[in-house]
Structure 1
Amino acid sequence: MKFAIPLALLASGNLALATPEPVQPLNHQLHKRALAYSEPHYPSPWMDSKAIGWEDAYEKAKAFVSQLTLLEKVNLTTGIGWGAEQCVGQTGAIPRLGLKSMCMQDAPLAIRGTDYNSVFPAGVTVAATFDRGLMYRRGYALGEEAKGKGVTVLLGPVAGPLGRAPEGGRNWEGFSPDPVLTGIAMAETVRGTQDAGVVACAKHFVGNEQEHFRQVGEARGYGYNISETLSSNIDDKTMHELYLWPFVDAIRAGVGSVMCVYTQANNSYGCQNSKLLNNLLKQENGFQGFVMSDWQAQHTGVASAAAGLDMSMPGDTVFNSGRSYWGANLTLAVLNGTLPQWRIDDMAMRIMAAFFKAGQTVEDQEPINFSFWTLDTYGPLHWAAGKDYQQINWHVDVQGDHGTLIREIAARGTVLLKNTGSLPLDKPKFVAIIGEDAGPNPFGPNSCPDRGCNNGTLGIGWGSGTGNFPYLVTPDQALQARAVQDGSRYESILRNHAPTEIKALVSQQDATAIVFVNANAGEGYINVEGNEGDRLNLTLWKEGDALVKNVSSWCNNTIVVIHSPGPVLLTEWYDNPNITAILWAGMPGQENGNSITDVLYGRVNPSGRTPFTWGATRESYGTDVLYEPNNGNEAPQQDYTEGVFIDYRHFDKADAPVLYEFGYGLSYTTFNYSNLKIEKHEVGEYTPTTGQTEQAPTFGNFSENVEDYVFPSEEFPYVYQFIYPYLNSTAMSSSSGDADYGKTAEEFLPPKANDGSAQPLLPSSGHHHPGGNPALYDIMYTVTADITNTGKLAGDEVPQLYLNLGGPEDPKVVLRGFDRLRVEPGEKVQFRAVLTRRDVSSWDTENQDWVITDFPKKVFVGSSSRKLELEEVLP
């Protein structure tokens, strides 16, 4: 370490953002209103030694951390720098105790930057399956592949963005704008990933609902003059009932890590927002794992540690700067008393407890066998420094039989939106396939970095949430193979802009025209055809609407298949009688063509349900991305004035028509719903939590001899830009480079930031119970209904349980349960779901707790949010 950042800057530099005072409006664009404010919450809660599900991991972590020196604890919490070694992010190793560097690696649907890995369907597609088992199996398979590559922490699953605005660029990485569907998908994915032996990282916490203005440098690169990132301004009730909900489900599932966001929440940066991290995440909901920063989302040193950040990624302040807010500065902060020992101990404890909870051991760590930076077999181990040339890629094949699972998920996540009888296909005489989205990228499926283009069939979006395809089966390939098998005539035109040729083909006798169209989206650091991550609009790309209208004017049996990250506008043509079927195939991953062929030909009876609403116009959604700064050159302000009313909740409140409602999806058979019954269970009264935590523990002593912390002798193999925990000098003042060195912690940090005494428990918290007050999960009702297959084919039905909470400010209905049931022709099966106290409660902002209101409540069971065949008042 050849320098150090001034400690005063690190301790307090952006503290006004971490714990801001109310400020006056900055300009007339804010209409003279006060900026949203995030109140301070300190100290940062320490681990609960008796937290249920974490007991064994805690003891193992305690035994390990008790042996660590201060330098080793700092090494564990600080990333080693962008490109310092093989993974997209790594911590420092502890060779004395045999702990290798921990590998943090994207992504939510594939192991990014490697080869011989699978590319799974995106989160939005697995959500459309409404199948807990498939959600778990996908998480487990992702965990298996990550473990096989030597990954310690897999950076997924995603509940932020939740999907506030359908134009949001990364909505497809997550699951659904409904918090219950997303929460269940989060929990199952977490369980699967960690059962496979890899720590899951729930991200991005919280309010990262658009790509525009999420980072200052990125925004300036696009020509926007801002000095701070966007602030998502979210009220307390909306936070609890909508955006926080799925993260709580991940906490209850035992998630080991949570990633904080680039953006601000109520004008406080997410990775130093003590309200989000200390209060909501760790105190109220008992999160026992560690909080990791998004890459370059850390803005302060001691202030972020005090606000609840546990791991800095990738470790440097700016990529390849070699500078760090932590590293040597964190060592110094503990030595001079700015940061108490209990806090660095808790940071290390949380990291190691998550490591052990996922079933990992120091003795059996899988070696990192790839380099994120290159697919070359040989190269520099220290990529940024260009040092230590050796073998860095072993090209380990981790795919197993996951292609079969991917094909199944993508088929069962395909939603049949319209069918007037043309499907399923039965050895059609003549099949004509139209559109670029049916064919290959002419330069190969991995030709665009991080999939940053839209050429050929769409398997996934773009950005850090992607991976390299081992292969990509196109619809043209798979459908042609099926046509050959059936003896059908088959021709394809894999272009959108060939009207003469397309008309000549599809207007022929007996043609079944299948048109493939798409829309794309991704992460903000890549601009694809003018879309800076977020979608510019909700229309189809490459003039897909014109293609559909043209083909359907020439062929009276036109089937449309849509690949997209979310809803697109179908208003101009969805009800055309010549369009006999419409399917949404989401973002299906590597088995794209096989899965859609399975559905079109009836090998899989469609049972996907749309995990979002299809509105008639862009404006009908009531929310949108903020595309232009609205606060001068200061932080853009995105006010969530719609509250909990997003997606179907908004459409219901506005009593607005929709094309296809949330939860909707057709089958090749039919079902009948009957015999709704509600059984009320006797449960105890809800008792707010009382009492206090333990006192903050410390593990082991550290030397106060400054000489023990100075960079080792010249023989030590120093690597350029690598982040170390060592000081430059025995003179701490000169090592910090701080002219104000010697100030006390009280002058840097908010009140109670360093208070390690026993703290009062929140009424809504669950002492020893991650996820909040355990009474929230008492089962208060069991709901059953009979589902009968009244058709001639076996199929899966997805009955859905909705609840009206009764209040004048409550949504008309909210999803509270679902199941996927296999039903044979003529068979009757029982749907069963439970309602917990949490399900029937509302967040009380005054009492800061969950309450069951006195308003009468009603249960609905049906096949979608607007086809609710059965209803009954909740007793």
Structure 2
Amino acid sequence: MKTTSLVAAVLLAACTDAAIPAGGISKFARKDDHASSPPHYPSPWMDPEAPGWENAYASAREFVSQLTLPEKVNLTTGVGWMGERCVGNAGSIPRLGMRGLCMQDGPLGIRLSDYNSAFPGGITAGASWSRKLWHERGLLMGTEANEKGIDVLLGPASGPLGRAPTGGRNWEGFTVDPYMAGIALAQTSVGIQDGGVIATAKHYIGNEQEHFRQAPEAIGYGFNITESSSSNIDDKTLHELYVWPFADAVRAGVGAVMCSYQQVNNSYSCQNSKIINGILKDELGFQGFVMSDWQAQHAGAATAAAGLDMSMPGDTSFNTGLSYWGANLTLAVINGTVPEWRIDDMAMRIMASFFKVGRTVETMPDINFSSWSRDTFGYVQSAAKENWDQINYGVDVRHDHGKHIREAAAKGSVVLKNTGSLPLNKPKFVAVIGEDAGSNPAGPNGCSDRGCDDGTLAMAWGSGTSQFSYLVTPDAALQFQAIEDGTRYESILNNNRWAQVSQLIAQPNVTAIVFANADSGEGYINVDGNEGDRKNLTLWKEGDELIKNVSSICPNTIVVLHTVGPVLLTEWYDNPNITAIVWAGLPGQESGNSITDILYGKTSPGRSPFTWGRTRKSYGTDVLYDANNGQGAPQQEFSEGVFIDYRHFDRNSPSTDGTASSDDAAPLYEFGFGLSWSTFEYSSLEIQPHIDTIYEPTSGDTIAAPELGNFSIDLADYTFPSDIRYIYQFIYPWLNTSSSGKEASADPYYGQTADQFLPPKAVDGSPQPKNPAGGAPGGNPGLWDVLYTVSATVTNTGDVTTDEIPQLYISLGGKNEPVRVLRGFERIEGIAAGQSVIFTADITRRDLSNWDITAQNWVITKHEKKVFVGSSSRNLPLSAVLE
């Protein structure tokens, strides 16, 4: 036997879309008391005239037209876990000189590499509210990936969006607000692709917690379930909240989208035809390729029909040597289960994304590192221990990227409280307290994928991490500053040395800076009982007690928090001895320098990308920690709809006068809040209406599905070549035998037509009606018509030059709508004392629209629309009604 890529027929043919008749479905239905997902077939094919994709499409068509069927399958199927140097590797096309594509984590830098940079986490980057920094961060990450030989960088992330504050991977994304997340996702994607590497918007969609995301992982934690959890989301919420950021990324030209582990309305995300075919490819006009998360594929032909374009890492489970695709996909095309146009479209989408970012087969850089070893020499095929060669070349790709990292992390730090102790100015005596200020005794990379909380927290844990080439601790940087200033400096880098701490901070003239943190990460790692998701919203390692103890003695206590998201500050934030609170997020390799720049006022701080609630319960949402559906898929009901974070707080504790409320349901620090080094006055709100263009639903039909050439249906043409040496566990596109389809694929359904077990229209390649809400990448082009331009004057009324971040919110009106939603912002840098600047923001049709579940399109309701401008979601001194 020459290939082990065999699967049972039920895996090849299974389809989990609910058996709901096609046509006229306006919203997600419920069946047997569980949400279900309507089918959408066929899978939309590429559009040669899609704006921004014309040249890429032409190049892809020319290239794919030359390929044989096994070569096309090789493009779409990974070679297996640890089958090559990268975390994901597609098969090669040696006949045309193309090595296999390299897919590598991640959203804050290169994972499992060396001589690369560790950028701030997404949530810290988000807190800068800076389009310029988002693009620059993406560009530098893309440049580093390109120079390492990576073709597809597995980031940025906007899933999870942050439905529950305890969600383990919220920190990989930028913010809880879909509008802001969309801009950050788009800017970062463009930056990565400007660096010559395909960006991957992930995780699509509804992947809002780690618990139960994968049944095998949950079983490992002792849960008796058979299926991964289902995120049950209604149609309106899906469009207005969770899909919204991905629409921005698609419009910006992102090349890849990664589907997520869990189910959406009881259909696995990577074979849910509604969310992939219906929303992503049809409605949003996505022209790139959809890849599975690693082991998120659960079927063969069904996933192809539902719109999946690339299977990663290729094997059904790590190191099985079995694949849902590979030889099975070859056979499925031969026997007509998967139509020729679908495999052509998969290959076209992959290669169009490749060409779109400027890559060519002739100039593909060599992969110069191995994810599986830091040794110079090792096995290229690590799983099989085959092909000993040089695998690491020590290529340094960092350049001067530390400058950006330092700036971005500082500008993404948020000053939550300051009664006058900041910025520091050559203080007489600084005492730094807390483990979070110091080093991990095992080194910055001492815990695999950062799966511990030892020393300062500069990034959280999981596959979304990067290797540190160095890490500047707060202790090191603050001590260096103290030496420069002639300041006395002492640090106690332990949370449990209270006798020594109390003696130190009781001395006169002391400024005590207390560091504490709270961590989280991906579900395959358990840190202190936190199975990815956080168990609570308190600080780790008795950080709250440390802060309370220090502030009970020291009248000038400054608190610095490195956390993955909000923590509860209620017990100590208003202690008058606590003169400042700074959230420093996950700052990356320049951590100490960045926090020093903020504490000493060298850089302007950012604004909070989430709400700080008074209690855990006040958020209204939480992680589902217990399986609630017997042995079946746990059901996570997104019953709160669009009311997450500030939208929830505003509904439950509205601020009628534009300022924060003090009741228990009100936020402690609202979304968008952050103190500045100066004061600002907002005035002269002006609204300029533009000609109200007519919103025209897209009409007409698509072209027929392109088929790029005939191929043989003789099984003998696809058996394993005699001149290829079989590598153990490697996934190949060739068949075991030519005697029969059943023997070649272990498929007893061989010979049946696709319509006997795939949904109606799944193989229909005829012209299809265009989606009225679609028409171009990102959706109907009319959604981006500018209907109003809003401007306001922002005046620095203080005596310090600093940045300001004006924000624009809109009330869409209506009984069941949020009080207001973010629809504009800008980080205006370097506003001098006494200077006035003009903040402007365009309001598009999309910004004023709601998703109509009956019309299946965006509509502007008749309810009054009101615009607000100010410095946070609850400090909005300017307002006006949109006529």
TM-score (norm 2): 0.97
Tell me if the contact between 1:3 and 1:735 (Cα under 8 Å) persists in the aligned partners.
no
Superposed, 1:190-339 pairs within 5 Å as 190-339=189-338
Give the aligned partner of residue 507 of structure 1: 506
Give the aligned partner of residue 687 of structure 2: 678
Give the aligned partner of residue 145 of structure 1: 144
Superposed, 1:290-689 pairs within 5 Å as 290-606=289-605, 608-655=606-653, 656-689=665-698
Determine the C-alpha separation between the residues in 2 that align with 1:665 and 1:515. 20
Determine the C-alpha separation between the residues in 1 that align with 2:541 and 2:7. 52
Matched, 1:778 2:785: yes
Residue 879 of structure 2, aligned match among 853, 871, 874: 871
Tell me if the contact between 1:20 and 1:267 (Cα under 8 Å) persists in the aligned partners.
no
Deviation digits for residues 810-840 of structure 1 (CA, Å, limit 9, x no counterpart): 1001000100112111100000000000000
Tell me if the contact between 2:436 and 2:493 (Cα under 8 Å) persists in the aligned partners.
yes
Matched, 1:852 2:860: yes
The amino acid of 1:615's aligned partner reads G
Give the aligned partner of residue 25 of structure 1: none
Matched, 1:34 2:33: yes
Residue 789 of structure 1, aligned match among 782, 791, 796: 796
Deviation digits for residues 314-367 of structure 1 (CA, Å, limit 9, x no counterpart): 000110000100000000011111111000000000000000001101110011
Superposed, 1:692-841 pairs within 5 Å as 692-713=701-722, 715-731=723-739, 732-766=741-775, 769-822=776-829, 823-841=831-849
Q: 1:100 Cα shift?
A: 1.1
Tell me if the contact between 2:335 and 2:713 (Cα under 8 Å) persists in the aligned partners.
no
Q: 1:738 Cα shift?
A: 2.5
Determine the C-alpha separation between the residues in 1 that align with 2:6 and 2:728. 17
Determine the C-alpha separation between the residues in 1 that align with 2:882 and 2:383. 62
The amino acid of 1:775's aligned partner reads G
Secondary structure at the counterpart of residue 395 of structure 2 = coil
The amino acid of 1:694's aligned partner reads I
Q: 1:34 Cα shift?
A: 1.1
Give the aligned partner of residue 27 of structure 1: none
Deviation digits for residues 515-553 of structure 1 (CA, Å, limit 9, x no counterpart): 000000000000001100000000000000000000000
Deviation digits for residues 3-23 of structure 1 (CA, Å, limit 9, x no counterpart): 45356323323x2x233569x
The amino acid of 2:702's aligned partner reads T
The amino acid of 1:786's aligned partner reads T
Runs of 4 or more above 4 Å deviation: none
Deviation digits for residues 656-680 of structure 1 (CA, Å, limit 9, x no counterpart): 3111000000011111100000000
TM-score (norm 1): 0.98
The amino acid of 2:496's aligned partner reads H
Determine the C-alpha separation between the residues in 2 that align with 1:4 and 1:469. 37
Deviation digits for residues 714-735 of structure 1 (CA, Å, limit 9, x no counterpart): x421111000000111122321
Q: 1:438 Cα shift?
A: 0.4
Q: 1:806 Cα shift?
A: 1.0
Tell me if the contact between 1:370 and 1:395 (Cα under 8 Å) persists in the aligned partners.
yes
Determine the C-alpha separation between the residues in 2 that align with 1:454 and 1:696. 52
Tell me if the contact between 2:51 and 2:777 (Cα under 8 Å) persists in the aligned partners.
yes
Determine the C-alpha separation between the residues in 2 that align with 1:124 and 1:429. 34
Q: 1:53 Cα shift?
A: 0.2
Q: 1:684 Cα shift?
A: 1.6
Tell me if the contact between 1:81 and 1:723 (Cα under 8 Å) persists in the aligned partners.
yes
Q: 1:157 Cα shift?
A: 0.4
Determine the C-alpha separation between the residues in 1 that align with 2:385 and 2:607. 50
Tell me if the contact between 1:332 and 1:736 (Cα under 8 Å) persists in the aligned partners.
yes
Tell me if the contact between 1:381 and 1:392 (Cα under 8 Å) persists in the aligned partners.
yes
The sequence identity of aligned pairs, in percent, is 64
Determine the C-alpha separation between the residues in 2 that align with 1:327 and 1:490. 62
Determine the C-alpha separation between the residues in 2 that align with 1:837 and 1:516. 45
Determine the C-alpha separation between the residues in 1 that align with 2:792 and 2:115. 45
Secondary structure at the counterpart of residue 142 of structure 1 = helix
Determine the C-alpha separation between the residues in 2 that align with 1:196 and 1:498. 48
Determine the C-alpha separation between the residues in 2 that align with 1:227 and 1:273. 18
Secondary structure at the counterpart of residue 117 of structure 1 = coil
Secondary structure at the counterpart of residue 380 of structure 1 = strand
Determine the C-alpha separation between the residues in 1 that align with 2:692 and 2:762. 39
Determine the C-alpha separation between the residues in 2 that align with 1:771 and 1:388. 44
Deviation digits for residues 162-217 of structure 1 (CA, Å, limit 9, x no counterpart): 00000000000011110011000000001000011000000000000000000111
Tell me if the contact between 1:422 and 1:557 (Cα under 8 Å) persists in the aligned partners.
yes
Tell me if the contact between 2:201 and 2:257 (Cα under 8 Å) persists in the aligned partners.
yes
Give the aligned partner of residue 10 of structure 1: 11
Distance change in 2, residues 1:243/1:32 (3 Å): closer
Secondary structure at the counterpart of residue 792 of structure 2 = strand
Gaps of 5+ in 2: 22-29, 654-664
Tell me if the contact between 2:106 and 2:153 (Cα under 8 Å) persists in the aligned partners.
yes
Deviation digits for residues 469-511 of structure 1 (CA, Å, limit 9, x no counterpart): 0111000000000000000110000011111110000111000
Tell me if the contact between 2:78 and 2:90 (Cα under 8 Å) persists in the aligned partners.
yes
Tell me if the contact between 2:13 and 2:301 (Cα under 8 Å) persists in the aligned partners.
yes
Tell me if the contact between 2:81 and 2:87 (Cα under 8 Å) persists in the aligned partners.
yes
Tell me if the contact between 2:7 and 2:324 (Cα under 8 Å) persists in the aligned partners.
no
Determine the C-alpha separation between the residues in 1 that align with 2:80 and 2:17. 24
Gaps of 5+ in 1: 23-30
Tell me if the contact between 2:75 and 2:347 (Cα under 8 Å) persists in the aligned partners.
yes
Determine the C-alpha separation between the residues in 2 that align with 1:56 and 1:488. 61
The amino acid of 2:173's aligned partner reads G
Secondary structure at the counterpart of residue 347 of structure 1 = helix
Secondary structure at the counterpart of residue 837 of structure 2 = strand
RMSD: 1.1
Distance change in 2, residues 1:33/1:580 (3 Å): farther
* Number of residue equivalences: 861
Give the aligned partner of residue 24 of structure 2: none
The amino acid of 2:823's aligned partner reads R
Q: 1:637 Cα shift?
A: 0.1
Secondary structure at the counterpart of residue 35 of structure 2 = coil
Tell me if the contact between 1:792 and 1:825 (Cα under 8 Å) persists in the aligned partners.
yes
Give the aligned partner of residue 26 of structure 2: none
Determine the C-alpha separation between the residues in 2 that align with 1:651 and 1:694. 47
Tell me if the contact between 1:19 and 1:273 (Cα under 8 Å) persists in the aligned partners.
no
The amino acid of 1:837's aligned partner reads R
Secondary structure at the counterpart of residue 515 of structure 1 = strand
Secondary structure at the counterpart of residue 275 of structure 2 = helix
The amino acid of 2:873's aligned partner reads S
